Amino acid sequence: MIRVLRSSVGLFALGLTLGVVWATAAMAMEPLPATPPVPKDNPQTKEKVNLGRQLFFDPRLSVTQTVSCNSCHNVMASGTDNRPTSFGVFGKKGGRSAPNVWNAAFLSVQFWDGRAASLEDQAKGPILNPVEMGMPNEAAVVALIDGIPGYREQFQRVFGGKNPVTYDNIAKAIAAYERTLVTPNSPFDQYKKGKKNAMSAQAIRGMKAVEELGCTTCHSGPNFAGPAMKTGEGFYQAFPMFPGSEYEKKYHLTDDKGRYEVTKNKNDMNHWRVPTWRNVALTAPYFHNGSVATLEEAVRVMGKTQLDKNLDDKTVADIVAFLNSLTGQFPAQTMPVLPPTPNTTTLPEAGR
């Protein structure tokens, strides 16, 4: 686990601890690569991506057959559900705001608290979470998918073997699809690649402001979510860094203990994986509990809680303009067709 300290000595020590070169370069703002890292044991293929897209959109993966991955990570929109927290099966509510699935493939750990090392690990969680998709266990999910002829055939083609429908392979297919969810060519990316009129003067002022203020100490790298790290190694930060502000109380920022809930290590209290700035203009409301309705207010909160600064209106507006320049281009997608179960339904409760 990494915490960013406020002194240069701390930063230096951190660099040594990590065993990486911790220099200005590591904090640079970079264009988004065209493709994210791909694990060796789950290579990308077109058929696997198509299968993963179907699974991502298939509400049959929930116990009521009403909630799909896309319900909370809507890839027709921001990649979130733009709610403070999500509704799962039976109208149950989750405790944290749905993270953005767009460009999640560039993150080295998943979930707000980093408890999943990879997209594959992440995909296995919500399906079994009782307040999300609510399936009783892995075996029930596998039996359901294995019972749909169109899926069984596709798993056979994609994964091969005697019993290709496994929980691991379901997660692999979903992760392969998610690795295609990349939004390149934001105005910032175009600017970085030389198109100097891609960003407004205000956005450029905002870009300078986030560097000078120190926001990019954490929001660095191509995904603005921290330096490049190995898959499974997380870049965490205290939020709030400066406790006791009015915002902390107003927005209940410390009710949820964050990474501490995973590790039970006191040093992780109220620590969170640094979230991406990519497409942040589209993902209101903000923070782990979705308590802040606007990006403008989120910038003010961050200024106060992380830098102990009361940002003036102009600076806030400049930073918001810069953050809007990080909205990428969303690739056109074909709508999946979900394989049917002719003459019957996969829903156990139906007709009984």
Nearer to its own copies (CB atom), residue 180 or residue 231: 180
Nearest to 191 by CA among 23, 37, 321: 321
What is the distance, to the nearest Å, from the Cα of residue 255 to the centroid of all Cα atoms in its chain?
21
On the CB side of 137, CA atoms within 13 Å amount to 1
What is the distance, to the nearest Å, from the Cα of residue 162 to the centroid of all Cα atoms in its chain?
34
Nearer to its own copies (CB atom), residue 7 or residue 334: 334
As measured in angstroms, the least distance from the Cβ of 83 to its own copies is 6
Answer whether the bond into residue 285 is a cis peptide, omega within 30°: yes
As measured in angstroms, the least distance from the Cβ of 39 to its own copies is 26
Nearer to its own copies (CB atom), residue 23 or residue 337: 337
As measured in angstroms, the least distance from the Cβ of 258 to its own copies is 19
- The catalytically annotated residue of 30, 47, 120, 132 is 132
As measured in angstroms, the least distance from the Cβ of 90 to its own copies is 5
How far apart are alpha carbons 257 and 239 in whole angstroms?
10
How far apart are alpha carbons 193 and 222 in whole angstroms?
13
Q: Report which DSSP code applies to 131.
A: T
Nearer to its own copies (CB atom), residue 19 or residue 342: 342
Q: Is 132 a catalytic residue?
A: yes
On the CB side of 56, CA atoms within 13 Å amount to 29
The residues of the shown chain that bind its own copies, judged by CB under 8 A, are 57, 59-60, 64-66, 71, 74-78, 81-84, 86-87, 89-92, 251, 281-282, 284-286, 290-297, 320, 324, 327, 330, 332-338, 340-347, 349-352
Residue type, 238: A
Neighbours of 87 (CB within 10 A): 17
Active centre residues (catalytic): 132
